[in-house]
């Protein structure tokens, strides 16, 4: 499936007491890039008809990032079946290409009108191929 990539420059508000990017910041970036990828890939009709609920989040930290580092953030759909989708996010130092962290998140698709879980349609899957 297609990937989506952004770059983020580390700012002072992203740092923890050790002057590394805060773990909570990575979680926020995972959510931000997932939403951005969804909104760029799907039609307005699909976006208005469905939304995602986060079920499970796993992140593995490999190397720290520091103030003014540029981080390349890449996301892609690992699987989409039934009600659930698994999304991967990878964080790299854009200059050195070193992998900083990886994340796997499990999401459940919801129908906006019914406010209930719903199966992932072929139309949705095709938006990411």
Nearest alpha-carbon partner for 89 in 80, 79, 97, 101: 101
pLDDT, position 79: 95
The DSSP bridge partners found for residue 117 are 110
Neighbours of 90 (CB within 10 A): 16
Could you tell me which CATH number the domain at 3-127 has? 3.10.129.10
Local structure of residue 120 (DSSP, 8 states): P
Residues 2 and 128: beta-carbon distance below 8 Å:
yes
Per-position pLDDT tens, the chain of length 129: 799 999 999 999 999 999 999 999 999 999 999 999 999 999 999 999 999 999 999 999 999 999 999 999 999 999 999 999 999 999 999 999 999 999 999 999 999 999 999 999 999 999 998
pLDDT of residue 126: 94
pTM, two decimals, is 0.94
Angle at 77 between CA 35 and CA 94, to 5 degrees: 75
């Amino acid at each position: 499936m297609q990937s989506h990539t952004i770059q983020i420059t580390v700012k002072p508000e992203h740092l923890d007491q050790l002057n590394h990017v805060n773990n909570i910041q990575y979680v926020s970036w995972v959510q931000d890039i997932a939403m951005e990828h969804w909104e760029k890939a799907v039609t307005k009709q699909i976006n208005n008809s469905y939304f995602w609920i986060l079920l499970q989040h796993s992140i593995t930290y490999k190397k720290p990032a520091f103030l003014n580092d540029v981080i390349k953030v890449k996301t892609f759909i690992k699987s989409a079946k039934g009600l659930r989708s698994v999304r991967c996010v990878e964080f790299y130092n854009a200059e050195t290409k070193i992998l900083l962290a990886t994340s796997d998140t499990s999401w459940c698709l919801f129908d906006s009108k019914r406010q209930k879980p719903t199966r992932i349609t072929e139309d949705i899957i095709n938006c990411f191929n």
